[in-house]
Amino acid sequence: MSRLLQAIFGRLPIGWLQLTHNRTRFAAALAGVAFANVLVFVQLGIMNSMGAATLRPYEFFQADIMISAGDSNAMTDGGNVARQWLLQAMADPDVTDGMGLFLANVAWDRGEKDISLSTFGVDPVKPGFINPAIAGDLALLEVQDATILDRLARGLTKEEAAGVRPQTPLAFEAQGRTLVAYTTFAGGGGFGGDGYMFVSDQTFLSLFPARSSAAPDHILLKLRPGANVEAAIARLGRLISDPSLRIRSFAQAAQDDLTYQQTRRPTGIIFGFGVLIGVLVGLVIVYQVLSTDVADHLREYATFKAMGYGPGFFLGVVFEEALVLGIMGFIPGLIVGTGILSLMGKITTLPLGMSVSMAVSVFIGTVVFSALSGAIATRRLAAADPADLF
């Protein structure tokens, strides 16, 4: 390592030699940087997981345009939309089909602990609006009280999920009714529920008698192939005489939902602050280590100043130390962070895990912030006055 650094810097790797001279302190410093990395990884992992969980329900559908109530910031909130606008939208020459989407949480009564399922009420004869992985089974929902169940739902055992087939359906109690799951799909737990479930719009209205078939949560539209989505949205805006409605491309609705969850919902803001705190903790740890190291070697630095070493040399040494700490602290941080995220993902069934982009961005952040800490720590070098050596 020493030779490698000497080749890189073209001088004795003073920073490396200083750091490794006291191995206990070096190990403690690396542990500190690794700890900060783990903090950032966990918070980022949760934040990314929230993003993935937010976008997950959008992946179950295929649509070009979504019409939502004006106060709808996310797929799961906001008021209803009058079905009449679906009929009105069908008047547009580019709109080929439309479907009302109903959405609510259903509590599966399991005795000690219920499973909360984000439930979509859809038209079972319109598979074109549903992800092909699910659409093939959509006809099963034509039977009253039939469901397609999320096999990755939290609280559902693998054995239970594996046994759900059209030949061996699973009956269960929810909302005071007996529902029957005929098949499953891969959903996954989210922040708003333990999993997902598809039912027909008629079954949905049976589960929620207060809801009306005339007022779905969202309206999904499909356009003819090659149609200009933005132009269609503009025309629909003129066609539909309720200016409070949000008419957006389906992709834009998903992006708006994500932005809303990350920047305006308390959970997103809390996890964002968690990342910030992790970064600040790392910054303080690296600064403390470097600053103590500079203070401990002030006499040696003053000696080098007397010998004719310029400011660039000292900056280089402190940056060298910052890079060593940042890079070597990152490796155990990555390993532990990956382990913790994997464990949390298994326990919560949330899409938690280490990604290459996350590892790369945290690595770059670690190096940049370590260098920043080093830059702050070099201010203490000014105290190294060679005239004081005599």
Partner 1 sequence: MDSKNILEASGLNHWFGTGDARKQALFDVNLTLRRGSFTVLMGPSGSGKTTVLTLVGCLRAVQDGQVTLLEQQLNGASEAELVALRRRLGFIFQAHNLHESLTATQNVVMGLQMHRGVSDAQAQHAAVHALGLVGLSDRVVYMPGNLSGGQKQRVAVARALVGNPALVLADEPTAALDKDSAAEVVDLLKRMGAARGTTTLLVTHDNRILDRADRILTLEDGRIVRIEDRG
- By CB under 8 A, name the binding residues for partner 1: 6, 10-12, 14, 17-18, 20-21, 297, 299-300, 302-304, 306-310, 313, 386-387, 389-390
User: Least distance in Å: CB of 313 to partner 1?
Assistant: 7
Question: Based on CB atoms, which residue is closest to partner 1, 14 or 30?
Answer: 14
User: Least distance in Å: CB of 155 to partner 1?
Assistant: 57
Q: Quick one: how far is CA 248 from the chain centroid?
A: 23
Question: Based on CB atoms, which residue is closest to partner 1, 356 or 387?
Answer: 387
CB atoms within 10 A of CB 73: 17
Question: Based on CB atoms, which residue is closest to partner 1, 11 or 224?
Answer: 11
Question: Based on CB atoms, which residue is closest to partner 1, 11 or 346?
Answer: 11
User: Least distance in Å: CB of 20 to partner 1?
Assistant: 8
Q: Quick one: how far is CA 31 from the chain centroid?
A: 26
User: Least distance in Å: CB of 383 to partner 1?
Assistant: 15
Question: Based on CB atoms, which residue is closest to partner 1, 21 or 113?
Answer: 21
Q: Is the Cβ–Cβ distance between 35 and 284 less than 8 Å?
A: no
Question: Based on CB atoms, which residue is closest to partner 1, 306 or 336?
Answer: 306
User: Least distance in Å: CB of 153 to partner 1?
Assistant: 57
Question: Based on CB atoms, which residue is closest to partner 1, 256 or 321?
Answer: 321
User: Least distance in Å: CB of 1 to partner 1?
Assistant: 14
What are the tokens at 209?
């008698």
Question: Based on CB atoms, which residue is closest to partner 1, 253 or 381?
Answer: 381
Closest of 64, 91, 94, 76 to residue 241, by C-alpha: 91
User: Least distance in Å: CB of 29 to partner 1?
Assistant: 14
Q: Is the Cβ–Cβ distance between 41 and 176 less than 8 Å?
A: no
Question: Based on CB atoms, which residue is closest to partner 1, 303 or 342?
Answer: 303
Question: Based on CB atoms, which residue is closest to partner 1, 163 or 310?
Answer: 310
Measure the CA–CA gap between 313 and 201, rounded to whole angstroms.
72
What are the CB-based long-range contacts (under 8 Å, 24+) for 132-141? 132/62, 133/185, 133/186, 134/60, 134/185, 134/198, 137/182, 137/183, 137/185, 138/198, 140/166, 140/182, 140/183, 141/198, 141/199, 141/200, 141/203
User: Least distance in Å: CB of 3 to partner 1?
Assistant: 10
User: Least distance in Å: CB of 17 to partner 1?
Assistant: 4
User: Least distance in Å: CB of 315 to partner 1?
Assistant: 14
